[in-house]
Structure 1
């Protein structure tokens, strides 16, 4: 699904944020991405969801070299990737339900075909009674759960999550982990960037560990 070969990245003319990164995510795999603040976790995710280009090296998505992919084809690749951002990126004028259903609307599906599925997903993440609320009325944890629901609602081929449990309590954190595991069981490749050591330990999945912009651990430590 994802392959990096000797990838480095910098912002503008600044120093390299990532240096000589090489790894691959096989279809149906589940990894955590760990490292201290500033290690480069968010930057690596940005390369995968095409928010930035590598300064050198090769990035492949779904078997295609991103640097050789025509700009008109990039939106198609992005639609295969679900992303949970730290800053949520909710649309303030849309209800909780409509925010969660937005990827399905973009795909052209009619509400009658997804209404029950979206309602069930929102209930699972604890927002079943807030479906008609606007984002401005939600707590930080509720916004986080809504952002996760929106990212997984269309069962993307790849799910990227940047600190997805940072604003929820331990019980909800485990519930969201079960959601990610179930999505992975259905075939989605999952990569979660997190500081939550308890979450990583409970999941017992392989870990990619960054230090100062370098990938230093490809082990399967929990």
Structure 2
């Protein structure tokens, strides 16, 4: 893409008639960029991600995604845009009746790929996130950290154009958090635009990546992690 992959212009958002949780947000992401968005609980990080993956609509302002005004996208076309976005949710959203392998493979199955074309890739990815011995386990038997890693594997398996992650290291130890960060960095090197919402100040500092900071629903600062 010649221009930004994502652009916010004067965007605000509220839930129902409640006060705005996001106010006059303006920023853009270039293709292949990597950013963190930081802020205290309630600052609006999750709401910002919801706007990007089309789970919510802004109350005012303009959002362009893949050079398209999202308000002008027909309902029938929205699922196709969503398929270009990988999302790691805080609540995981795993399908309880599917194994770890099948949960991870779900985006590829939806895209119409045949199992023989991705079986080896899924096994390798699950091994990379530490789930090699849990491929056939159901989500109910996984720990919180294992569910987190499975959710990350599912989000990145299709190599999305944009990867959004909402507190992706919230249930893992420091060593695994760094390993997950390296996975995101590697995916970014392959061309995926990455935006991670996190309050893990140490992880952000270690990353050395650009940072947006949200405070009381507003973008108040633009900086960079320390790259320790």
TM-score higher than 0.5 = yes
Please tell me whether the aligned partners of residues 207 and 225 of structure 2 are also in contact (alpha carbons under 8 angstroms): no
User: Where does structure 2 lack aligned partners over 5 or more consecutive residues?
Assistant: none
- Cα drift, residue 44 of structure 1: 0.2
Q: Residue 68 of structure 2 is aligned with which of 48, 54, 64?
A: 64
- Cα drift, residue 69 of structure 1: 1.1
Structure 1 equivalent of residue 187 of structure 2: 183
Structure 1 equivalent of residue 113 of structure 2: 109
Please tell me whether the aligned partners of residues 167 and 196 of structure 2 are also in contact (alpha carbons under 8 angstroms): yes
Structure 2 equivalent of residue 156 of structure 1: 160
Structure 2 equivalent of residue 14 of structure 1: 18
- Deviation per CA, 1:171-191, whole angstroms, max 9, x where unpaired? 110110000000000000000
Structure 2 equivalent of residue 136 of structure 1: 140
User: Where does structure 1 lack aligned partners over 5 or more consecutive residues?
Assistant: none
- Deviation per CA, 1:140-199, whole angstroms, max 9, x where unpaired? 000000000000000000000000000001111011000000000000000000011111
Q: Distance in 1 between matches of 2:89 and 2:63?
A: 21
- Cα drift, residue 125 of structure 1: 0.1
Structure 2 equivalent of residue 169 of structure 1: 173
TM-score by length of 2: 0.96
Give yes or no for the alignment of 1:28 onto 2:60.
no
Q: Residue 210 of structure 2 is aligned with which of 196, 206, 213?
A: 206
Q: Distance in 2 between matches of 1:185 and 1:199?
A: 19
- Cα drift, residue 218 of structure 1: 1.8
